[in-house]
Amino acid sequence: MQMVWQPLDLQSFILHIDKSKIYYIMIRRDAQREILGEGAMDIIEICKALSNETRLSIVRWLKNPKENFPPQGGSLDSSIDLKGGVCVSSIHQKAGGSQSTVSNYLDMLQRAELLISERHGKWTYYRRNEKTIKSLAEYIDKEL
């Protein structure tokens, strides 16, 4: 089965599968945001990010950080509001695995806009992006 990409314009491509004569139109992710609006979530990236058990667990753990992690920000100024954020080292410790793997997981979750990071001094704290999670729940309710 031979696949051929033919550009139609700046925003879309057509994929032609010779034998079955099936056509798919794909819209690039940046064009998707133009069409759906700047706040549109990327459902494919979100699904990819949540398709790993550890990444899914991280998002679940961050739903209730006080229950799932030790107290945070002990070495920070007491005036700093972490907004429920958890230090990378605490997430790494709970998740197990290598530090680079957990960092990559956090990066992927952040790129999918499921997590928000804040830097305080030399520490990075992650928390859930409730806006994206709410949009995901609404999408699943409406579309699936």
63/7 Cα distance (integer angstroms): 43
Q: Which of 40-44, 67-71, 76-80, 119-123 bottoms out in mean pLDDT, i.e. has the lowest?
A: 76-80
What percentage of the chain carries pLDDT values higher than 90?
A: 49
Q: Per-residue pLDDT averaged across 79-89, rounded? A: 84
Q: What is the pLDDT of residues 10-29, one digit of tens each?
A: 333 333 334 343 333 344 45
**CA 8/CA 19 separation, integer angstroms:** 21
What's the pTM? 0.71
Contact assessment for residue 56 and residue 112, using Cβ atoms and an 8 Å cutoff? no
pLDDT value of position 21 = 39
CA trace torsion 132, 133, 138, 139 (10° rounding): 70
Assign 31 a pLDDT band (cuts: 50, 70, 90).
very low
